[in-house]
Structure 1
Amino acid sequence: MTANVWAYRIGIDYLAGDLTGYGVEALDGIIGKVDKHSDEVTAAFLVVDTGMWILNDEVLLPAGLVTRIDHTAEKVYVDRTKEQIKAAPEFHQDENLGNADHRDALGRHYLAHMPFGVPPA
């Protein structure tokens, strides 16, 4: 069975509010704010505006990386480090958002960097 990093994990309350503008925290700190998100069942994602943190100002994170959403604090927590996110295939919203090859490359990257003991989505 292949893990689907493009689906929210069971128990993640992603429908309780609009995630746009929520802060996003990696395992080792803040990476940016949610610019766009999708809650499509097997193709869910977050587009995160990273500001000047990396050369490209946006990253695409599969929803399966989300470990918790705090709607009160407006924060989304993901189970990858800043370096793992920075090392992902470069993302350009205009070019890559609907691109299946880019999505597959991102999925492979994040599955290869799955933290020990974390169950797949």
Structure 2
Amino acid sequence: MSIDRPWSYRPESGHKEGQDLTGFTVEATDGTVGQVDRQADVSDMRHLVVETGVWVFGKSVLVPSGAVTGIDPGARQITLAFTRDEVKAAPLFRTDSETRDPDYLGRVDAYYRALPPRQPA
């Protein structure tokens, strides 16, 4: 499913203001993406930086909060609206400075907005 507001949590996601998601497991529609390494809660650019482990050669990916479809605090798990391949194909995340780079964030925004709509599982 494409997202219209990539940088805002969906109302139905279960996100609560001030919620610390560090260490939560991140699940795509077809498997585990990794764990939340850190999060940014700046109101107009909320996102997660997810450490992927070995499936993307130990890299991190930036996931905009609008990709989150569910948060389960008890299981410490986050679910996403996208597949692992779709997350992996997002603009490459290299350094924390990119989280403040309007050009990079614009590419991430355009990428997630352009993904084809999909029916929720």
**TM-score under structure 2 normalisation?**
0.87
- Tell me the amino acid that sits aligned with residue 8 of structure 1: Y
- Distance in 2 separating the partners of 1:56 and 1:103: 21
Structure 2: segments with no counterpart, 5+ residues: none
Structure 1: segments with no counterpart, 5+ residues: none
Q: Deviations 1:57-76 (Å, cap 9, x if unpaired)? A: 10000000000000000000
Number of positions where the alignment pairs a residue of Structure 1 with one of Structure 2: 117
- Tell me the amino acid that sits aligned with residue 16 of structure 2: L
- Distance in 2 separating the partners of 1:35 and 1:62: 14
- Distance in 1 separating the partners of 2:28 and 2:119: 17
Give how far 1:25 is off.
Answer: 0.1
- Distance in 2 separating the partners of 1:39 and 1:14: 11
Partner of 2:94: 92
**TM-score under structure 1 normalisation?**
0.87
RMSD over equivalenced CA pairs, Å: 1.9
Q: 2:23 aligns with which of 10, 21, 35?
A: 21
State the identity as a percent.
Answer: 36
User: Does the 8 Å CA contact 1:14/1:39 hold for their aligned counterparts?
Assistant: no
Partner of 2:12: 11
Deviates more, 1:15-24 or 1:81-90: 15-24
Residues 7 and 110 of structure 1, relative CA distance in 2, 3 Å threshold: same
Residues 112 and 95 of structure 1, relative CA distance in 2, 3 Å threshold: same
3-state SS of paired residue (2:61): strand
Q: Per residue, is there more helix in 1 or in 2? A: 2
User: Does the 8 Å CA contact 1:25/1:77 hold for their aligned counterparts?
Assistant: yes
Alignment of 1:97-108 (within 5 A): 97-108=99-110
